Amino acid sequence: MSFAKSLRCRECGREYPLEPSHVCEFCFGPLEVVYDYDAMHRNITRETIERGPASIWRYADFLPVDIEYAVDINAGYTPLIRAKNLGERLGLTNLWIKNDCANPTWSFKDRVVTVAATRARQFGFDTLACASTGNLANSVSAHAARAGLRAYVFIPSDLERGKIVGSSVYGATLVAVDGNYDDVNRLCSELADKYRWAFVNINMRPYYAEGSKTLGYEVAEQLGWRAPDHVVAPMASGSLYVKIWKGLQELARLWLIDSVQTKMSGAQARGCSPIVTAHEHGTTNVRPVRPQTIAKSLAIGNPADGYYALKVMEESGGYGVASDDAEIIDGMKLLAESEGIFAETAGGVVIAGLAKLAREGKIRSDELTVAYITGSGLKTQEAIEDALAIPLHIDPTMASFEHALGERARDTAQAGA
C-alpha cells in the first residue's frame, strides 16, 4: 500500500481525494500528492531501500501508487559517474554525472511515465496519452506497449527523426501537430476534458511528476547517503528541477540523510529561458516566450512549474544559467570527448551551463557537484552532425588508408594553425 493520502493545491491548500485530476477547482493551482510521512518514517530505512530492485521501484514507498499495478520496464537506478576528465577541464575536483541516458527509452522520462502508467492502470484507464517534446512520447509509447494499453501521443511536427521513430516503433498512434510544444499542450488540455484517457502530463500530472523525485533519492544513495553540495539540472517546465529538490528534502525529513545544503542551479537554452530570465530580473513572475533553440526537449515557452523553480533557486542559493546554440553543441562535444557520454541537446545545455558557472566561480572547485544528463544524443543527431569530423572515406587498401590519414593530419594542422 502506498503512503499517499490525498491531493492538495499548492496555492490555496484545499485537499482532494486521490483521483485523476491536476487542477484546483477554486484557484487553478496545481495539485500535489500528500503523504503520511509519520508512517513512512516508521517503515522506511536505508536497509529496506537497499534490499529493493535496481530500478526506481526500490523507492516504491515514496511513490503515489500501489506496486501490484506496476507497469515496469526497469526505469531508473542509472549510473552516477565520477567525471574526473571533465572536472579537470572545468577546474572542478569533485564532479559527478548522473547518466539518465541509461534508461529503457534513453531518457529520464521513464521515471515519471512508469509512475503515471501504474497509476493509470490502478485507476482503470485503457488508454495512455501525452503532449510531448519527444522523450515523453517515446516513454509513454513503450510503457503502453508493456501494459497492453492504447497510446496516443501528440508532438510538434518539427521534431527530430529519432524521437518520431522512437515512438511509432512501439505501435502508438503518433499525432504530429503543426505548432510548437505550447500549442500541443493547449490542444491536449482541451482533449483531456473530452476523452477519458490518462494524459500522463495533464490529468495524471500529480502522480507523474513524483517520479522525478527518484533522481534526488538515487544520487543521495549512490553518494553513500548524502546530498550533493551543488546540482546542475536542465529546466523546461521546471518540474524535474523542483522534484530533485523535493526528493532530497524528503530524505532529510525521514532522517535517511543529514540536512540538505544543496545549491540548486538550473540550466536553460538562451533561446528559451523564461525561468532564468525571471531569476535575472529578480522576479517570480515568469513571462512566456516563443522558443527558438536546438534544445527542443527544453523548448517550453510557458513553463508550468517556473514559479516553483524560482522559489527553489532562491531558497537553495543556486543559480540560473542560459547558453546559446553554439555553446550547447560545444557542451555536447565536451561531455562526449571527455567522459564518453553522448547526451542530447538538453545535456549540452547542462554542460554548457556547468562550464559557465565554474568559470564564473559560482561553483567552488571542491564542491561535490552533480550534473544531470537526462537524455541520449542518438535521438538528436541532426543538432550536432554538421559540427563533427566526417569519416575518412577510403578504398580497401593500405595505401588509400595512409593517404587519407595524411590528409586528415594536414587538415587538422591547418585548422590548428
Residue closer to another protein by CB (options 30, 320) is: 30
Bridge partners of 373, per DSSP, are: 99
Residues with Cβ within 8 Å of residue 270, at least 6 apart in sequence: 293, 322, 323, 324, 325
Beta strands 369-373 and 95-99 are parallel
Stretch touching another protein by CB under 8 A, among 74-82, 247-255, 304-312, 378-386: 304-312
Stretch touching another protein by CB under 8 A, among 38-46, 126-134, 255-263, 325-333: 126-134
The reply to whether 235 sits near another protein by the rule CB under 8 A is yes
For the bound state, the minimum distance from the C-beta of residue 28 to another protein, rounded and expressed in Å, comes to 4
Stretch touching another protein by CB under 8 A, among 117-125, 165-173, 232-240, 362-370: 232-240
Beta strands 369-373 and 230-234 are parallel
Bridge partners of 269, per DSSP, are: 272, 323
**Pattern 174-213, binding to another protein, x per CB under 8 A?**
-----x-xxx-xx-xxx-xx-------xx--x--xx----
For the bound state, the minimum distance from the C-beta of residue 276 to another protein, rounded and expressed in Å, comes to 14
Considering only 105, 237, 262, 345, the residue that binds another protein (CB under 8 A) is 237
For the bound state, the minimum distance from the C-beta of residue 203 to another protein, rounded and expressed in Å, comes to 9
Residues with Cβ within 8 Å of residue 238, at least 6 apart in sequence: 266, 275, 303, 304, 305, 306, 307, 308, 309
Residue closer to another protein by CB (options 44, 109) is: 109
Residue closer to another protein by CB (options 23, 394) is: 23
For the bound state, the minimum distance from the C-beta of residue 98 to another protein, rounded and expressed in Å, comes to 13
For residue 59, the 8-state DSSP code is G
The reply to whether 351 sits near another protein by the rule CB under 8 A is no
The reply to whether 26 sits near another protein by the rule CB under 8 A is yes
Residues with Cβ within 8 Å of residue 33, at least 6 apart in sequence: 4, 6, 7, 18, 64, 206, 207, 210
For the bound state, the minimum distance from the C-beta of residue 91 to another protein, rounded and expressed in Å, comes to 27
- Copy the grid coordinates of residue 57: 521501484
Considering only 302, 316, 369, 380, the residue that binds another protein (CB under 8 A) is 302
The span from the CA of 350 to the CA of 372, in Å, is: 7
9-28 per-residue burial string, b: 16 or more CB within 10 A, e: under 16: beeeeeebebebbbbbeeee
Stretch touching another protein by CB under 8 A, among 165-173, 246-254, 297-305, 385-393: 297-305
The reply to whether 25 sits near another protein by the rule CB under 8 A is yes
Helix (H, G, I), strand (E, B), or coil: what is residue 345? helix
The reply to whether 132 sits near another protein by the rule CB under 8 A is yes
For the bound state, the minimum distance from the C-beta of residue 164 to another protein, rounded and expressed in Å, comes to 17
Stretch touching another protein by CB under 8 A, among 45-53, 65-73, 167-175, 237-245: 237-245
* Listed residue (204, 183, 239) closest to 128, CA to CA: 204
To 10 degrees, what angle do helices 345-359 and 325-339 make?
A: 90
The span from the CA of 159 to the CA of 312, in Å, is: 31
Beta strands 4-9 and 31-35 are antiparallel
The reply to whether 131 sits near another protein by the rule CB under 8 A is yes
> Which residues of this protein are in contact with another protein, per CB under 8 A?
11, 22-30, 108, 130-133, 136, 179, 181-183, 185-186, 188-190, 192-193, 201-202, 205, 208-209, 233-237, 239-241, 285, 287-288, 290, 297-300, 302-305, 307, 346, 374
